[in-house]
Amino acid sequence: MDTQLLEAFIAVAESGSFSVAAERIHVTQPAVSKRIAQLEDILECRLFDRIARSVTLTEAGEALMPRAHQILQAIADTRQAIHDLSGEISGRLRLAISHHIGLHRLPPSLKQFAQQHPSVTIDVDFMDSEKAYEGILHGHFEVAVITLAPQPHPKIEARIIWPDPLVFMVADDHPLTKEQRPSLQTLCNHPAILPGLGTYTGRMARAVFEEQRVPLPATMATNYLETIKMMVSIGLGWSLLPESMLESGLQAIDIPDVHIERQLGYIHHREKSLSNAARAFIQLLDMETS
């Protein structure tokens, strides 16, 4: 089966549009339509329902979607594996990186890697750490550099690179800065701005309050730590943020006997063969801990 047919199928399925799919894979719309028709002829079934301007997957299309991804990924992995036999570090390196690490931790390493291995094309997707885990499990990325999950996964190899202490943080003029003996209960008397409770960092915040049997107050939530820091800096509430983000205009609130630290590092699938480029990148990251 021609891989171009599967690429066209995935582009239409993900965009819901033949015209958008054509732009995405850099061909004309008639060419996309022709490829989909060829694929439907080969499989002897209809893959899309076309009603008015809406394009949706049929039951057969839904069944094909994950398999199409798997086929294309297997072909790409095979090409890379054969190429890597030469020992050359080149090709495409697919990375998932959390927004915070991409801004604050990884730029020097990425720059060094790009300078040392100019033949490698670095393909970076910025995303929440939780989604990166799914991407690694499904083979969409070779390596993810993220906040590590509190619990290990049997199919994922994880390595801590940067311990990341978290502190309760407020603006310099926030009423909490005048508290003589602040506590979790004291925090609950003021608005909070926290990472979403579905994130690893959000779960850590919730666990601290649950351990001391203090109900976590209703909060404003966003997964972007830079946005949270901005909202805290203008006095909209307190938050739990990496100590490394503490700067002029912000103040840490020390809560006795409360120590919170998340772990930042990289993950990859235990059962997936890594390319030479991925192994070289991991080796560079490991040097951060030496």
Q: Residue 159: its pLDDT value, please? A: 96
Q: Are 22 and 32 in contact (CB under 8 A)?
A: yes
Show the domains of the chain with their CATH numbers: 3-82 (1.10.10.10), 89-161+264-289 (3.40.190.10), 165-260 (3.40.190.290)
User: In this model, does residue 83 exceed pLDDT 80?
Assistant: no
Q: Residue 75: its pLDDT value, please? A: 83
Q: From CA 79, how far away is CA 255, in angstroms rounded? A: 54
224 falls in which pLDDT band (50, 70, 90)? confident
User: In this model, does residue 91 exceed pLDDT 80?
Assistant: yes
Average pLDDT of the segment spanning 285-290: 84
Q: Residue 90: its pLDDT value, please? A: 84
Express each pLDDT in 35-72 by its tens digit. 999 999 999 999 999 887 788 999 999 999 989 888 88
Q: What percentage of the chain reaches a pLDDT higher than 90? A: 62
Q: From CA 140, how far away is CA 262, in angstroms rounded? A: 25
Q: Which residues touch 227 (CB under 8 Å, ≥6 apart)?
A: none
Q: Residue 218: its pLDDT value, please? A: 66
Express each pLDDT in 108-158 by its tens digit. 999 999 999 999 999 999 999 999 999 999 888 999 999 999 888 999 999
Average pLDDT, the chain: 89
Q: Are 168 and 201 in contact (CB under 8 A)?
A: no
Residue 286: CA count within 13 A, CB half-sphere:
9
User: In this model, does residue 248 exceed pLDDT 70?
Assistant: yes
Angle between helices 3-15 and 18-25 (to 10 degrees): 130
Q: Residue 76: its pLDDT value, please? A: 77
What is the number of residues in the chain?
290
In the chain, the amino acid numbered 26 is H
Express each pLDDT in 170-216 by its tens digit. 999 999 999 888 999 999 889 999 888 788 888 888 888 888 888 87
Structural Rg of the chain based on CA atoms: 24
Express each pLDDT in 233-247 by its tens digit. 999 999 999 999 999
Q: Are 28 and 20 in contact (CB under 8 A)?
A: no
